[in-house]
Amino acid sequence: MNRRKDLGSWQAAKAAGEKLVMITAYDHPSARLAQAAGIDGLLVGDSLGMVVQGRSDTLGVSLEAMVYHTEMVARGAPECLIVADLPFGAFEASPEAAFAAAAALLKAGADAVKLEGGLPMAETVRFLSERGVPVIGHIGLTPQHVRQLGGFRRQGTGAEGAARLAREAEALAAAGARMVLFEAVPAELAATLTARLPVPTIGIGAGAGTDAQILVWHDVLGLSPRPPSFARTYCDGAGLIIDALGRYAAEVREGKFPPT
């Protein structure tokens, strides 16, 4: 078994100063490849609304879609930690609603759920944690709040923003969150909070000082038309696929495939 399946090993890695690696995954073949590459944890992110379903934000993603994708990913990477996002509308109304949604994701194969939101979500994090649901808090830029934030904007800036982010991170950890994810926040702030928090932190667009890093599958593999500036693209996936498909099409049209 991969030694990162168990959340306790993430806590031990933080204590040992070992960096942890996550990527999003949405289906069985990508989960299988990520596990083969030695990735520690996979997030079935509601970013699937944008990169898989072609929406302009994540708000339209349903719990049913999250369950469907979580099942595929969990089957593909049984040795990785599998985290599934609680989608917008499935958890905010009450801790009980959050528990029902989280239970569906755990039954689908998730090892933990991630939810967006700071102080208002602390009670829900406690409720879930006390009932056997490992929770990861997601603060900073929370894409589910994009309409309230007025766009995909950097967060935690200025003294007031930094103080609020610190309060949120500490409240989530105190409520039982097993990890805290920082998205699009100043690197120095994320590093300071990482040193202060008792639980591992995950960063995306939050500098090099968090315990773990995460990126979106399509950004890493060159499949996003406009990857965010903080992402790094490790291959020209779109170019490779278009080239392969073009050669296949040409060979069919030229009578070279199938062979006679």
Which residues of this protein are in contact with ligand KIV, per CB under 6 A?
A: 24, 43, 45-47, 85, 138, 181, 183, 204, 214, 216
d(CA 92, CA 128): 13
The CB-of-53 to ligand KIV minimum distance in angstroms stands at: 12
Between residues 170 and 183, which has the closer beta carbon with respect to ligand KIV?
183
Q: At closest approach, how far in Å is the CB of 47 from ligand KIV? A: 3
Q: Which is nearer to ligand KIV, 45 or 117 (CB)?
A: 45
Least distance from ligand KIV to the Cβ atom of residue 205, Å: 9
Length of the chain: 260
To the query of whether residue 183 is one of the catalytic residues in this protein, the response is: yes
CA angle, corner 147, sides to 145 and 152, nearest 5? Answer: 70
Torsion of CA 66, 82, 144, 231, to 10 degrees: -120
List the one residue out of 196, 229, 216 whose CA is nearest residue 14: 196
Q: Which of 116, 183, 188, 254 is catalytic?
A: 183
Q: Which is nearer to ligand KIV, 127 or 217 (CB)?
A: 217
- Which residues, 6 or more positions from 49, have their beta carbon under 8 angstroms from its beta carbon? 55, 57, 58, 59, 60, 61, 65
List active site positions.
183
